[in-house]
Amino acid sequence: MLSLKLPRQLNINQVPQVFREQGILFGYRHPRSSATDCLLSVFQMTNETLNIWTHFLPAWYFLWKLFALSYSLDIWNDMYAWPFLAYMITCCIYPFTSSCAHTFSTMSTQARHICYFFDYGALSMYSLGSAIAYSAYIFPEEWIKSTFHHYYVPIAVLNTVISTGLSCYSRLGAPYLHYNSDIMERFSEVQQPRLSKTLRMLAFVYPYLFDSIPLFYRLYLCTKESCMESVIPVHYKHCVFAFLTCFIFAAHLPERLAPGRFDYIGHSHQLFHVCGIIGTHFQMEAIFMDMNARQNWLLASSSFPSLCQTVGSIGISIIISLTIIGVFSMALYSMPQSSRKEKLYRH
């Protein structure tokens, strides 16, 4: 009879330091897992299992929403819907990429870094998708066709590139330039975890804050003038979950307070995923509501981006982000073997 042997799990002292998570003591997968072992671990309770499923299932949910909207709207032919289409595509990509990154990140140390490089790149693309949708549907009336509105998406493209580069840098420093430099030897995720975490947070918080400037202004006006727009509470819900996502990521709660108690269920990265997905859901609902409620006014007062402009922004960002990811990935294999072991396998 055919039997299926599940991969063996390890404790925190049995894996290299680069694989360790603060407050997580048990449930680690082998740092040299095969692709088959990684796939099997999806159906085994490890400290990564819910990280995988809390993004894999939402990716299909957002894909279902995309196809449902494509039937209710002329989303492929109506220029007004193209920014929303670009946004929805990025909503599908980032959780799917994240689930793949968490699944295959234990094949090797190099694979772990490369998986998360792609994860960061997908998150950066989601930020750009949000900016494209905000530019089309969210901007306050008095800012339409302003200089800021004109340069808003190009700056968001630049932010996407910076975000991908800075988040990749936060894992390795810049070994492809200075792997023999004393400065670079002192900086990597293992040697400087707080600096690494700070840089990574900055890489994603800054683009979010920039993207949200027009939304924050609308929320400020509604608070000041007591406006009755039905979409405003939904925008507030999105902002609350965005704040919770950032807070949980930074705080490492609750596992930091009770190491070993939340190894499998309830640790911060799972909560971070859940809050992020709920925030994206409310953001999607709010954008869709604004898209419908403001359609007549926006079409009359604003020139909408062409498919080339919308897809072009996404395409340019993808090309540059993939180039950045490629440079950092090649750096992992171009470092001298002794330096690579010291930097990436240090216990």
Give the model's confidence band at 345: pLDDT under 50 very low, under 70 low, under 90 confident, else very high.
Answer: very low
Cα separation of 53 and 40, whole Å? Answer: 13
One-letter amino acid of 196: S
The answer to the question of residue 10 being in a domain is no
Tell me how crowded residue 91 is: count the other CB atoms within 10 A of its CB: 26
Give the pLDDT confidence of 23-39 residue by residue, as tens digits.
Answer: 999 999 999 999 999 99
- Smallest Cα–Cα separation from 120: which of 172, 76, 84, 176? 172
Domain assignment of residue 256, given as a range: 64-101+109-344
The answer to the question of residue 287 being in a domain is yes
Q: What is the pLDDT of residue 338?
A: 45
**Does 255 have pLDDT greater than 90?**
yes
What 3-state DSSP class applies to 29? strand
Q: Which residues pair with 28 in a beta bridge?
A: 10
One-letter amino acid of 23: G
| Total number of domains in the chain | 1
Q: What is the pLDDT of residue 174?
A: 53
> Which range, of 57-61, 225-229, 309-313, 322-326, averages the lowest pLDDT?
225-229
**Does 74 have pLDDT greater than 60?**
yes
Give the pLDDT confidence of 182-232 residue by residue, as tens digits.
Answer: 333 344 566 777 888 899 999 999 999 999 999 999 999 888 777 778 999
Q: Which residues pair with 182 in a beta bridge?
A: none
Tell me if 221 sits within 8 A of 140, measured CB to CB. Answer: yes
Q: Which residues of 291-308 are buried (b: 16+ CB within 10 A; e: fewer)?
A: beebeeebeeebebbeee
Q: What is the pLDDT of residue 188?
A: 59
Cα separation of 330 and 341, whole Å? Answer: 15
Sequence-separated contacts (24+) of 115-119 with Cβ below 8 Å: 116/171, 117/168, 117/171, 117/325, 117/328, 117/329, 118/325
**Does 303 have pLDDT greater than 90?**
no
> Which range, of 69-73, 164-168, 199-203, averages the lowest pLDDT?
69-73
DSSP secondary structure, 102-132, as one string: HHHTTS-HHHHHHHHHHHHHHHHHHHHHHHH
What angle, 0 to 180 degrees and rounded to 10, lies between the N-to-C axes of helices 213-225 and 193-211?
A: 60
Tell me if 248 sits within 8 A of 275, measured CB to CB. Answer: yes
Query: pLDDT higher for 67 or 340?
Result: 67
Based on C-alpha coordinates, what's the Rg of the chain? Answer: 21
- 244-256: average pLDDT: 94
Measured CA to CA in angstroms, residue 342 lies from 112, 117, 178, 180 at distances of 16, 20, 15, 12
The answer to the question of residue 195 being in a domain is yes
9 DSSP 8-state letter:
E
DSSP secondary structure, 60-80, as one string: HHHHHHHHHHHHHS-TTT-GG
Q: Work out the mean pLDDT of the chain and round it to a whole number.
A: 88
**What tokens does 71 get?**
């039937």
**Does 41 have pLDDT greater than 70?**
yes
**Does 109 have pLDDT greater than 60?**
yes
> In the chain, pLDDT over 90 holds for what percent of residues?
70
For residue 342, count CB atoms less than 10 angstroms from its CB and return exposed for 0-12, middle for 13-18, buried for 19 or more.
middle
The answer to the question of residue 314 being in a domain is yes
The answer to the question of residue 24 being in a domain is no
**CB-based contacts of 203: which residues, under 8 Å, 6+ apart?**
120, 124, 162, 163, 164, 166, 167, 170
Measured CA to CA in angstroms, residue 213 lies from 131, 206, 279, 280 at distances of 10, 11, 17, 17
Q: In 226-264, which ranges are continuous DSSP H helix?
A: 232-251
Q: What is the pLDDT of residue 335?
A: 63
Q: CA dihedral defined by 154, 278, 91, 78, rounded to 10 degrees?
A: -80
Q: What is the pLDDT of residue 161?
A: 96
Q: What is the pLDDT of residue 342?
A: 44
- 84-100: average pLDDT: 96
What 3-state DSSP class applies to 324? helix
> In the chain, pLDDT over 70 holds for what percent of residues?
88
Give the pLDDT confidence of 284-295 residue by residue, as tens digits.
Answer: 999 999 999 999
Q: What is the pLDDT of residue 182?
A: 38
